[in-house]
């Protein structure tokens, strides 16, 4: 039954990613907003819903290591696992605003999380509020000042729907991603617990990969349809959203304590390393692009991370 949950959940996620992409492209056209903004906001929020649900549920039920490990592991999976696979499938040409706003915002969010946890090993309610306020400020900045960060290769294939139809696709996509991830997580967690894996390891590996599957589904659908701005924006935005919104909201409701010392001494260090690595990879060996070579580096590094965790 657990294997069936995983299989059905993955299928629903693919369908949800398709619907979400249709909504994102249409909203970008209808509202005259750059696609990377839609990717970093609308799509990121929808694909990060599983992280929010899992982290809130885990914290409220007294499993803070799963809540924290889920977000840290998801941010690692988004860049190592998801982005690695995505750019092995298709090259992404990056514009200068990537390193002016998108990447620095992700690094800022990652650094803030590390500093807050390094002080006392816990995210307090006021720290959660600070993180959430930062999210609002980032969104305001993006909507007002952000420019295109990825070249749109096939603008002629874009389809513009009415606002109502776009919202229907958005709702269908979001619900499908949530339902699919729930099935996949249920099956994966049951299998992990059957083999006696710790809560931290479950959070950093099984659950984080499970909750990153929506990002993978949405990004793969986006890149195969040449919507690379949405693909890259989705992943960067998801990492920012995971920290500022998921942990911010969760901490405001219930403070999150890092009980397992390896969350700080190992997991979060890897998260910072993956976040930082995107910057040099954009410039070497091919300037201002991410392709299969960088994808192999990211995916290979993620496999090493998993091997060291397990």
Spell out a b/e string for 59-70, using b for 16 or more CB atoms within 10 Å of the CB, else e: beeebbbbbbbb
CA separation (Å) from 57 to 52, 91, 116, 223?
Answer: 8, 37, 22, 32
Residues with Cβ within 8 Å of residue 15, at least 6 apart in sequence: 176, 180
Structure-token match 């090259």, residue found = 91
99-104 average pLDDT score: 83
Could you report the per-residue pLDDT of 116-149, keeping only the tens digit for each? Answer: 999 989 999 999 999 999 988 987 877 676 554 4
- Say what the pLDDT of residue 286 is: 63
CA separation (Å) from 229 to 51, 147, 233?
Answer: 22, 11, 6
CA separation (Å) from 153 to 103, 157, 223?
Answer: 22, 10, 10
32-59 average pLDDT score: 68
Residues with Cβ within 8 Å of residue 241, at least 6 apart in sequence: 44, 45, 48, 135
With contact defined as beta carbons under 8 Å apart, do 60 and 240 qualify? Answer: no
Structure-token match 């693919």, residue found = 14
- Say what the pLDDT of residue 212 is: 76
Could you report the per-residue pLDDT of 164-201, keeping only the tens digit for each? Answer: 888 888 888 778 877 876 776 677 677 777 777 776 78
Residue 49 has pLDDT above 80, yes or no: no
Residue 115 has pLDDT above 70, yes or no: yes
pTM of the model: 0.78
At residue 157 the predicted structure's pLDDT band, cuts being 50, 70 and 90, is very low
207-225 average pLDDT score: 73
- Say what the pLDDT of residue 21 is: 66
CA separation (Å) from 173 to 15, 42, 154, 215, 283?
Answer: 7, 11, 22, 12, 34
Q: Which CATH class is domain 36-154+181-309?
A: mainly alpha
At residue 39 the predicted structure's pLDDT band, cuts being 50, 70 and 90, is low
Find the DSSP H helices in 195-267: 199-201, 208-224, 228-241, 248-253, 262
169 sits in which H/E element: helix 163-194
Instruction: Give the pairing of strands 256-257 and 92-93.
Output: unpaired
At residue 233 the predicted structure's pLDDT band, cuts being 50, 70 and 90, is low
Kindly state the greatest CA–CA separation across the chain: 53
Percent of the chain whose pLDDT exceeds 90: 23
Instruction: Give the pairing of strands 289-290 and 92-93.
Output: antiparallel
Residue 258 has pLDDT above 60, yes or no: yes
At residue 308 the predicted structure's pLDDT band, cuts being 50, 70 and 90, is very high
- Say what the pLDDT of residue 158 is: 55
């Amino acid at each position: 039954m657990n294997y069936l949950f995983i299989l059905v959940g993955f299928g629903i996620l693919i369908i949800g990613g398709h619907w979400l992409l249709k909504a994102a492209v249409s909203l970008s056209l209808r509202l005259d907003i750059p696609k990377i903004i839609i990717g970093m906001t609308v799509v990121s929020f929808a694909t990060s819903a599983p992280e929010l649900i899992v982290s809130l549920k885990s914290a409220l039920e007294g499993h803070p290591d799963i809540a924290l490990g889920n977000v840290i592991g998801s941010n690692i999976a988004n860049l190592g696992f998801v982005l690695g696979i995505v750019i092995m499938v298709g090259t992404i040409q990056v514009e200068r605003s990537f390193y002016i706003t998108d990447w620095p915002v992700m690094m800022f969010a990652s650094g803030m999380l590390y500093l807050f946890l390094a002080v006392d090993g816990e995210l307090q309610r006021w720290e959660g509020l600070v993180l959430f306020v930062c999210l609002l400020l980032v969104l305001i900045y993006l909507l007002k000042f952000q420019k295109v960060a990825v070249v749109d290769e096939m603008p002629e294939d874009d389809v513009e729907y009415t606002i109502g139809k776009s919202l229907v696709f958005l709702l269908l996509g979001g619900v499908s991603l949530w339902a699919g991830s729930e099935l996949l997580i249920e099956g994966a967690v049951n299998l992990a617990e059957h083999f006696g894996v710790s809560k931290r390891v479950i959070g950093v590996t099984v659950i984080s990969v499970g909750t990153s599957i929506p990002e993978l589904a949405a990004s793969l659908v986006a890149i195969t349809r040449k919507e690379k701005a949405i693909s890259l924006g989705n992943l960067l935005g998801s990492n920012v959203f995971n920290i500022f919104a998921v942990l911010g909201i969760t901490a405001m409701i219930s403070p999150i304590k890092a009980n397992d010392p390896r969350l700080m001494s190992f997991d979060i260090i890897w998260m910072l390393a993956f976040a930082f690595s995107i910057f040099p990879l954009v410039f070497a060996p091919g300037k201002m692009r991410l392709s299969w070579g960088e994808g192999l580096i990211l995916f290979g590094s993620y496999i090493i991370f998993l091997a060291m965790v397990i």
